[in-house]
Every structure is written in C-alpha cells, then in structure tokens.
C-alpha cells in the first residue's frame, strides 16, 4: 500500500512537471494538492462516521432497558468515538506523504499527538458525565454531590493531560519535568489555593455527610436561607425562599458555622418556641367565685376540681388560717391559665404528643412574666407550620382575659394622649 502511494505521488509530480512547472515547485504542488484533497476526504469520512455511529447508538439505546446508553448519546460519546478511525487514516497517510519533509512531518505529528491527548480527555469526560447523569436518576444517589466528584476527577485528569501536553510539546523527560515541577510547587499551591481548599472540603462534606442536595440550610454570613440545589468543587448553590440564589464557598462549610435543618425535616415534628408576656400586677389568688366561673371552661375544669380537693386537704391538715388567701395553698389565675394552655395543646391534633411538650414561666422581665410554649407541630412544611403556630397564639391571646390576666404591651402615642386627656378631664 505504501509502495502504491509512493508511485502515485511520483506520477502526479511528473504530470505537473509536464505542464511546465519547475521540478521543485512541482513536488511542492503535489504535496499541497494531495494534502488538501485528502483533508477534504477525511473531513467527509469523519462526518459520515460520526453520523453513522451516533445513529447506531440511538438505535441500540432504544432497544436496551438501561438508560445509561441514552446518556452516552447526550454527552456526545459516540461523536468522540467517531473521530478515532479518521485520525488513524490521517496519521498513516501524512507519514507517507511527508516522509521527504521530516521537519514538517515532525510538527504535524506533534500536533496530532496533542489532539489525541485532548480527544482521550474528552472521551473520559463524556463517560464521567454519563455516569453522573445516570446515577442522579437513582434514588440512593439523588442527594449525593456527584457534580463535586466529577469536578475533582476531571481536575486530576486535566492535570495529567497538561502534564503530557508539556512533555509532548517541549520533548521533556518525565522525571526531569517532575523534579522541576516540585521546585515550583509552592507557587502552584498559592495559585490554586481555593481549588485545593474546595477539593479537600468537598471530600469532607461528602464523607461526613454534612450537607446533601435538598437540605435546608441557614448560613447567616453569606445571607443564605434555603435549599441546597448544587454542590460542586468550588461552591455550594442555595436557592433562598425568596427564589434568589446564593453561592457559598465549599470550604466555608468546614471552616464556618451554619445551620442545617435536615434533623428537623427527618424528625416527627417542627419546634414551636414562643412566649406571651403577662402583666405581673394582673396575677392574683383565685376566690371561690373565680373558681366557680373558671369551671365553666371545659378543658381546665377537671384540673380546678382536683386542685380544690388538694388545697382543702392540705390546708385542713396544716390548720391554715384561710381568712387570708396568702396563707396555705391556693390557686392563682396564672397557674390555672398555664394548665389550660397545657391541656389545649394536648387536645390540639396539629401538635405531636410523642415529642417534648411544655408550658413554662421564664424569669420575670421589665415587660412582664414570659409564659413560654414549647412543643412540636406534626406538619413540618413552612407554610403549614406558620399557620399552626399562628392559630395557637391567636387562641392563647384571646383566652388571656378569661382568666383575669393582661398581656403586656408597650404604650403607643394614642395611649399616652388618651391618658393625659383623662387626667386633664379629672382635674376639671
């Protein structure tokens, strides 16, 4: 075959010389014309093979049950494979064509080898992207940072590719180049500091299961409060609840503190922890008339009756002078109200009774006595959770006057004006 090509080129050169062209230029024209024709033929062959291989892959993928081959088509794997045969023919032909031009052949083969390295990297990248897209369709990999793994692997492969690029381009010995690279490692580490930090952080995030795709995180430092949509080598992408996006450096998940709400989402409820402030001067001991009136409130009536018997028994046993309410054991309106809220929460179907539930007093403040409700809603969805919480405190605030209590509220300008008007009227 090589002999036939050599004979063809000599015949073509002789034909050009017969047309009156100087032998040197005739030889050059022979090379250029045949190179041009061959490049056109190779381009057509490359296009035809790519089309045939792509179509063959599509037909094959439609007949298989797995979706892996479908993703191979989407990531252009068949197209890259289609380049291999034309490249092999291209190299073989030009070796024969340019054997009398060693310098030109040397640089052409060097460009050819560089392209082959690039093509190999593209084929591997296509396989990795296919694997990522395929595994993302599997439930067990849905929340894993596959994009981060892909970027880490490709960073490593591109490093190897650049290494071979330089070796091929400058005809370097691999060992000598590695030694020279070691001397420049300090500069390389400085240039790629963020990439290296992201690489280490992405591995730690994955191994320690710190963040998954789909987690709700709050990161005040970066103004992020929403759902993690993407985790890659350099950044974590968060879609906030106002539909904006925030990007966070991956290494910040290791170096800084943030809040991950996954534990709440996986638990049996979402915590409600809020207080109402009761005016201290509205707290009082309850008289028999007060207790009789409060017994009409069904949720708290059993508690009041039980406590009446306990108060009577204890005070009688201790010989307490009950002419003054402060003596002995007596019920207060705040204590009964606290028990009422407790009973109300236990009767509320929106509250998870299997989780912690408590109504307590916090230390008194200048705004009054904080009466705190601590419980968990069964529905963890944000909108429904807020509705449940609002319904509870609507009821609590509306129930306060029934127990002779008052809620503390800072006086407004209208309150002050009304007070001064009443004061002036009383003087007149």
Residue 376 burial class via C-beta count within 10 angstroms: exposed 0-12, middle 13-18, buried 19 and up: buried
Q: Which is nearest to 334 in space by CA: 370, 305, 381? A: 370
H-helix segments, 283-356: 288-294, 301-318, 333-347
Please provide the distance, in angstroms rounded to a whole number, between the alpha carbons at the two ends of the chain.
127
The domain segmentation of the chain, as residue ranges, is 2-142, 170-266, 268-284+333-428, 292-331
Quickly tell me which residue has 């291999």 as its tokens.
84
- For domain 268-284+333-428, the CATH class is alpha beta
Pair 264, 274: CB distance under 8 Å = no
Strand order in the sheet with 358-361: 270-278, 369-377, 358-361
| C-alpha–C-alpha distance, residues 197 and 130, integer Å | 27
How high is the pLDDT of residue 25? 54
Pair 221, 192: CB distance under 8 Å = no
Pair 378, 269: CB distance under 8 Å = yes
Condensed to tens digits (0 to 9), the pLDDT of residues 2-20 reads 445 555 555 555 655 555 5
Quickly tell me which residue has 């002789």 as its tokens.
14
List residues bridging with 278 in a β-sheet: 369, 407
Strand ranges for 54-102 from DSSP E: none
Per the structure block, which two tokens stand in for 12? Answer: 């073509």
Contacts of 301 (CB under 8 A, 6+ apart): 294, 295
pTM over 0.75: no
Q: Angle at Cα 199 formed by Cα 197 and Cα 204, nearest 5°?
A: 95
Low-confidence residues in the chain, pLDDT < 70: 1-38, 93-94, 96-101, 103-105, 142-145, 148, 171-195, 415, 423, 425-428
Provide the CATH number for the domain formed by 170-266 in this structure.
2.30.30.60
How high is the pLDDT of residue 2? 46
Per-residue DSSP letters for 379-404? --SHHHHHHHHHHHHHHHHHHGGGGT
Same-fold call for 170-266 versus 268-284+333-428: no
| C-alpha–C-alpha distance, residues 111 and 114, integer Å | 5
How high is the pLDDT of residue 89? 75
């Amino acid at each position: 075959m090589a002999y036939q090509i050599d004979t063809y080129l000599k015949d073509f050169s002789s034909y050009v010389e017969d047309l009156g062209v100087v032998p040197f230029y005739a030889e050059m024209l022979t090379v250029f014309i045949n190179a041009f024709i061959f490049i056109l033929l190779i381009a057509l062959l490359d296009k035809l093979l790519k089309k045939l291989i792509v179509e063959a892959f599509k037909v094959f993928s439609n007949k298989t049950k797995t979706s892996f081959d479908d993703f191979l088509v989407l990531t252009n794997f068949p197209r890259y494979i289609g380049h291999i045969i034309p490249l092999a023919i291209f190299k073989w032909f030009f070796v024969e064509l340019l054997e009398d031009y060693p310098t030109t052949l040397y640089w052409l083969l060097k460009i050819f080898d560089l392209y082959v390295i690039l093509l190999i990297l593209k084929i591997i990248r296509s396989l990795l992207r296919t694997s990522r897209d395929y595994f993302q369709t599997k439930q067990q990999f849905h929340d894993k940072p596959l994009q981060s793994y892909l970027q880490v692997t490709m960073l490593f492969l591109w490093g190897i590719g650049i290494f071979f690029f330089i070796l091929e381009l400058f005809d370097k010995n691999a060992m000598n180049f590695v030694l020279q690279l070691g001397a420049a490692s300090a500069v390389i580490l400085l240039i790629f500091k963020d990439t290296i930090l992201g690489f280490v952080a992405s591995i730690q995030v994955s191994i320690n299961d710190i963040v998954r795709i789909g987690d709700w995180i709050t990161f005040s430092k970066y103004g992020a409060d929403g759902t993690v949509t993407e985790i890659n080598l350099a950044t974590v992408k968060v879609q906030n609840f106002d539909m904006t996006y925030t990007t966070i450096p991956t290494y910040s998940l290791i170096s800084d503190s943030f809040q991950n709400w996954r534990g709440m989402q996986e638990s049996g409820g979402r915590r409600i922890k809020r207080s109402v402030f009761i005016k201290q001067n509205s707290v009082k001991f309850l008289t028999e008339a007060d207790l009789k009136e409060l017994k009409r409130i069904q949720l708290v009536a059993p508690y009041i009756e039980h406590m009446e018997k306990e108060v009577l028994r204890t005070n009688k046993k201790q010989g307490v002078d009950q002419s003054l309410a402060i003596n002995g054991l007596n019920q207060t309106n705040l204590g009964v109200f606290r028990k009422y809220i407790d009973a109300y929460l236990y009767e509320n179907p929106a509250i998870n009774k299997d989780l912690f539930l408590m109504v307590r007093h916090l230390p008194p403040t200048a705004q009054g006595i904080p009466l705190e409700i601590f419980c968990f809603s069964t529905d963890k969805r944000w909108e429904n959770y807020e509705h449940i919480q609002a319904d509870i405190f609507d009821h609590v605030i509306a129930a306060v006057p029934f127990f002779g209590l008052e809620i503390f509220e800072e006086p407004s300008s209208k309150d002050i004006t009304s007070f001064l008007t009443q004061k002036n009227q009383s003087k007149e």
